[in-house]
Amino acid sequence: MAQTPRRARLDYRFLISPQWLGGLALCAVFAVACSLLGQWQMDRRMEAVAEINKVLQNYDEPAVPLASNAAVFTDFQGHQQWTPVEMEGEYLEEDTRIVRNRPLAGKPGYEVLVPFRADTGDVVVVNRGWLPIGDTPGRPDVVPSPPAGEVTVVVRAKPGEPDLGRDAPEGQLASIDLVAFADSVGYPVADTAYGQLADETPAPAVGMQQPPKPPLDEGPHLSYSLQWFMFGLMSFVVWGYMARQKALNDRDDLEQGLTEDDGYLSAYRAPKARPARRRGGRPTDEEAEDALLDAAESR
């Protein structure tokens, strides 16, 4: 029984050519870019998870009296966000400030800041809620008044916001910049955190809309990160697959005695187009000419 001749080994020496080394370098650059993007998405996920943990740990906890937790507003730490604090005192309604450009549920509007002087002597800025844009240009149509006299409020601590570098009309702020708030009212206030209103006793005659509880969804950052890492890996897989296919095609060319000088492209073997037959099965002029040449050569 005749043995099948062994095929030649695949020749990968072409990989050291400038074209293939350049392709490998491009794969490396692409993989590095994908890795950086993947790590960026992973960092965003970690930030989202950290924010979720703050909500889980603090949001629904019982309120702590301000007297035992005053530092949450004067020396705020990141892990204290959403900590409920109970304060007793009075609102300083005459120093109300409006914060511009505060969307809620996709709608533009304002937020209302009112300083609260607690019985401890501390003055804490309270965000009493959100108001929609009305018919009055540049400010809410009506700003509901807070309860007068002695009031008990429960607020959740949130960090102050940076200065946006934008001017605002008199009595308004561009952000919840507590330093700017203190400058505008002319007396010291707790300047590292403010309180997002959760409850007031007695209740006001007219309330304002409060923001919903922060979502506990970390978003698609993990899946995006894995996709970027896979894209970077796939660039090398594609490069390796193309190298393998070229090596296989080169071996086929060698066994058939073909070279690149024969006009053969090893990366792709294009099929030779055959002329279409005429209707009725009659041969085309090219087929008839080929038949005459074959007959002449056979004589």
Give a three-class secondary structure readout of 3-30.
Answer: CCCCCCCCCCHHHHCHHHHHHHHHHHHH
Q: Maximum CA pair distance of the chain?
A: 123
Span 6-43, pLDDT tens digits: 777 888 899 999 999 999 999 999 999 999 999 999 99
Q: Write the CA distances from 75 to 71, 128, 225, integer angstroms.
A: 5, 22, 35
Report whether pLDDT(291) > 80.
no
- pLDDT for 259 equals 57
Distances (CA, A) of 237 to 27, 28, 31, 174, 242: 10, 12, 11, 51, 9
Tell me how far apart the alpha carbons of residues 61 and 198 are, in angstroms, rounded to a whole number: 12
- pLDDT tens digits, 43-61: 999 999 999 999 999 999 9
- Which amino acid, one-letter code, is at 5? P
The pTM for the full model equals 0.71
What local confidence, expressed as pLDDT, does residue 251 receive? 87
pLDDT computed for residue 264 by the predictor: 45
Token pair, residue 86, equals 């109970």
CB 190 within 8 A of CB 122: yes
Does position 299 have pLDDT exceeding 80, yes or no? no
Q: How confident is the model at residue 144 (pLDDT cuts 50, 70, 90)?
A: very high
Q: Which long-range contacts (CB under 8 A, 24 or more apart) does 250-258 make?
A: 250/10, 250/11, 250/14, 251/7, 251/8, 251/10, 251/11, 254/8, 255/7, 255/8
By the 8 A CB rule, do 155 and 126 touch? yes
High-pLDDT (> 90) share of the chain, %: 68
Q: Which DSSP state fits 203?
A: P
Give CA–CA dist 275/291, Å, rounded.
14
258-273 residue pLDDT tens: 655 554 444 545 454 5
Rg (C-alpha) for the chain, rounded Å, is 37
* Residue 257, both tokens: 């005695």
Split at pLDDT 50, 70, 90, the class of 292 is low
* DSSP 3-state of 230: helix
More confident residue, 152 or 265: 152
- Say whether 202 sits in a helix, a strand or coil: coil
pLDDT of residue 265: 46
Number of H helices, E strands in the chain: 5, 8
What pLDDT does 297 receive?
A: 56
The pLDDT tens digits of the residues spanning 96-126 come to 999 999 999 899 999 999 999 999 999 999 9
